Chain A
Amino acid sequence: DTAVSQTPKYLVTQMGNDKSIKCEQNLGHDTMYWYKQDSKKFLKIMFSYNNKELIINETVPNRFSPKSPDKAHLNLHINSLELGDSAVYFCASSRGQERGNTQYFGPGTRLTVL
């Protein structure tokens, strides 16, 4: 059973388009995250939701908008895509905000903007 799943796995699109990535977790966790991995494999937090409430919003352009319809889902919508948005986006989840809680990651969505 897939714990954290993302769709689509690959996304190729033109500059200026709007696209969404979906994430679902079946672990019963109440905290979810979006990370961006750039071409040098560097991982950086973008957003985090706890019980559907936004708790982390790092320095990400306003073109990126996360939405959490319920605790098991966290979607990422990107407007007016730019070349620099090309990256791998990972969703993750954890049980709450305690420091020792492990984050479990999805398989990633490779976004390519042409």
Chain B
Amino acid sequence: AQSVAQPEDQVNVAEGNPLTVKCTYSVSGNPYLFWYVQYPNRGLQFLLKYITGDNLVKGSYGFEAEFNKSQTSFHLKKPSALVSDSALYFCAVRDLISSGSARQLTFGSGTQLTVLP
């Protein structure tokens, strides 16, 4: 079964500094990886995804993610953090369910990012 792990529950970074939110994955075959962000009392918003091609994927709000097959990682990055980036970030992988009859998103446990002014 596919899975993703977000090893950090909480990441704090000063405004203006680069930020990284970590994600590692475990899938059979080629991974299809996603990042979502959840602001307080809001739904999940899609940031970016990796399907194939360039290992550096650019997404919304200046975020990007680097796919690393040898390290089975898909870390989310931003060169200069904003206070408004403070939110809960989820990594996810899309793959078949156990019966093989459909595809689902399996989410990591989430990382709370706090950008300090």
State how many angstroms separate the Cβ of A19 from the closest Cβ of chain B.
Answer: 20
| Residue ranges of B at the interface with A (Cβ–Cβ < 8 Å) | 32, 34, 36, 38, 41-46, 49, 51, 88, 90, 94-95, 97, 101-107, 109-110
Q: Is the CB of A108 within 8 A of B109?
A: no
> Which of B34, B104, B107 interacts with A102 by CB under 8 Å?
B34
Tell me if A87 is interfacial: C-beta within 8 Å of chain B.
no
- CB-CB under 8 A from B36, the residues of chain A are 105
Contact B43 A99 (CB under 8 A): no
Which residues on the A side are within 8 Å of B46 (C-beta)?
A: 102-105
Sort A-B residue pairs by CB-CB distance and give the 4 closest, nearest first.
Answer: A55-B102, A100-B51, A105-B44, A43-B107
A40→B6 CA distance, assembly (Å):
14
A-B contact pairs, 18 of them (CB 8 A): A41-B38, A41-B88, A41-B110, A42-B109, A43-B44, A43-B90, A56-B97, A56-B102, A56-B104, A58-B97, A99-B95, A99-B103, A102-B46, A104-B46, A105-B36, A105-B43, A105-B44, A106-B43
Query: B97 — which chain A residues lie within 8 A by C-beta?
Result: 56, 58
| Complex interface: chain B residues within 8 A of A4 (CB) | 43
A74 vs B34: C-alpha distance when bound (angstroms): 23
Tally chain A residues at the interface, Cβ within 8 Å. Answer: 27
- Minimum CB–CB distance from A11 to chain B (whole Å) comes to 14
Task: Say if the beta carbon of A25 comes within 8 Å of chain B.
Answer: no
A residues 55-94 near B (Cβ < 8 Å) are 55-56, 58, 90, 92
Q: Shortest beta-carbon distance, A75 to chain B, in Å?
A: 17
Q: Mark A29-43, 1 if CB is under 8 A from B, else 0.
A: 000010000001111
Q: Which residues of A contact B101 (CB under 8 A)?
A: 55
Asked whether, in the complex, the Cβ of A45 is within 8 Å of the Cβ of B90, the reply is no
> Which residue on B lies nearest to A40, using beta carbons?
B109
CB distance from B90 to the nearest CB of A (A): 7
